[in-house]
Amino acid sequence: MSNIVAIVGRPNVGKSTFFNRLIQRREAIVDAVSGVTRDRHYGKSDWNGREFSLIDTGGYVLGSDDVFEAQIDKQVELAIDEADAIIFMVDVESGVTGMDEDVANLLRKVTKPVFLVVNKVDNAKRAEDAVEFYSLGLGDYFTIASINGSGTGDLLDALVKALPEKETVVEEELPRFAVVGRPNAGKSSFINALMGEDRYIVTDIAGTTRDSIDTKYSSFGFEFNLVDTAGIRRKAKVKEDLEFYSVMRSVRAIEHSDVCLIVLDANRGFDGQVQNIFWLAERNRKGIVILVNKWDTVEKDHKSVKDYEKAIRQQMEPFTDVPIIFISATTKQRIYKAIETAVEVYKNRSKKIKTSKLNEILLPIIENYPPPAYKAKYVKIKYIMQLPTPQPQFAFFCNLPQYVKDPYKRFLENKLREHFGFHGVPISVYMRKK
């Protein structure tokens, strides 16, 4: 259970650049024009062994000043409510602005850790200029240059030190199946159909569900918690507070789940926002089931199940071993098949393979198809074991682990799937020194 850190601030102060540096990938678009980031971005990061989730509250599209300032306030209030720590980023080039002061007024009232970060400080003169940010009344600040990483180490040292320790509770809790997706994909309708009652409010207005709510459900001799979540969606014509709230809630629901049932609207397809949710679940090593809802409303003459499924699998490469089920929440078409499949995926995620069986089956395969030689050196894999983790992770012990590249690791993953069956579950393969 990791902490959530939210990055807040006005447009064009360098939030997305900082976010990309921390998650070590170029996920958020960065541009000198303010308001480029229209989607909410989220990812995982770690520092000194402490892992945390990072939310980039993005840039904002400027409307009138009054509307914009009101939406800034909503974003920050929600970040304060949901996050465990807040990074408030400002820009030394612009100095203290009215928007900075508005955000600071809100942050001075909170008891959670707040880190004032002055960005674009890449020389001694700018370090002197940063002194004016003491006027925001938030105490000491950190100076960084997110474009080259200068100063981020000291900031992250202080950040992870201030993050509250999450209790490791020995839980005999029921497994959690999170129903996630963008707004209005039919998540609440799906759960209502399963429960046989209107447990959740369902309207044609996207974003009706504002919270993540657990419902105990028993089926196929298996009891679990079914979690309805707020949706994740793009920004276009959406109230800022609702969109941000949705992302925060859905991130938490995914992180605390065992299996994610990703509901998508058949008429919209496996679009960019659904892909974001899919990869977030995959990065968190959760079991995944794709539910293509509203299949009864799609014209079948030009979109057969086979073609539709093929298109989705192309978008989720290289992790394609995921069940895809075509459902209709309104007609209850295949909704019980969806739950039955989710139970199977949960069992796959919990599966433990005996060490003797692993070595008996995989070592002969590896002997016939060894890792490619690298720099005239040959890798010899001598022993395999499954690690004692909640999700499938395997250690392959060999003489030169650093020479085993990703393509061969994918080969090993495919062999594990082929012989032991981990349908719907991400597998982690580690090479270890023998």
Mean pLDDT of the chain, nearest integer: 79
**Structure tokens given for 280:** 């977030």
Q: pLDDT at position 320, please?
A: 87
User: CB burial class (10 A; 0-12, 13-18, 19+) of residue 341?
Assistant: buried
- CA angle (120 as vertex; 14, 75 as ends), nearest 5: 30
Q: Which residues contact 389 (CB under 8 A, 6 or more apart)?
A: none
Q: Which residues contact 9 (CB under 8 A, 6 or more apart)?
A: 15, 57, 88, 89, 90, 100, 103
| Structural contact between residues 42 and 60, judged by C-beta atoms closer than 8 angstroms | no
| Spatial separation of the C-alpha atoms in residues 246 and 209, rounded to whole Å | 9
Confidence bin at 143 (pLDDT 50/70/90): very high
User: CB burial class (10 A; 0-12, 13-18, 19+) of residue 12?
Assistant: buried
Decide if pLDDT at 357 tops 60: yes
Decide if pLDDT at 298 tops 80: no
pLDDT in tens, 208-258: 333 445 667 776 677 787 777 755 555 444 444 445 555 666 777 788 889
Q: Which residues pair with 394 in a beta bridge?
A: 386, 429
Confidence bin at 353 (pLDDT 50/70/90): very high
Model pTM score:
0.58
| Spatial separation of the C-alpha atoms in residues 188 and 185, rounded to whole Å | 9
Comparing 331 with 202, the larger pLDDT belongs to: 331
pLDDT in tens, 381-405: 899 999 998 889 999 999 988 888 8
* Residue 93 dihedral angles phi and psi, to the nearest 5°: -65, -40
pLDDT in tens, 51-96: 888 877 654 333 435 454 555 556 556 667 778 999 999 999 989 8
Q: Which residues contact 330 (CB under 8 A, 6 or more apart)?
A: 186, 189, 193, 294, 296
| Structural contact between residues 135 and 108, judged by C-beta atoms closer than 8 angstroms | no
- 180, containing H or E segment: strand 176-180
- 357, containing H or E segment: helix 355-368
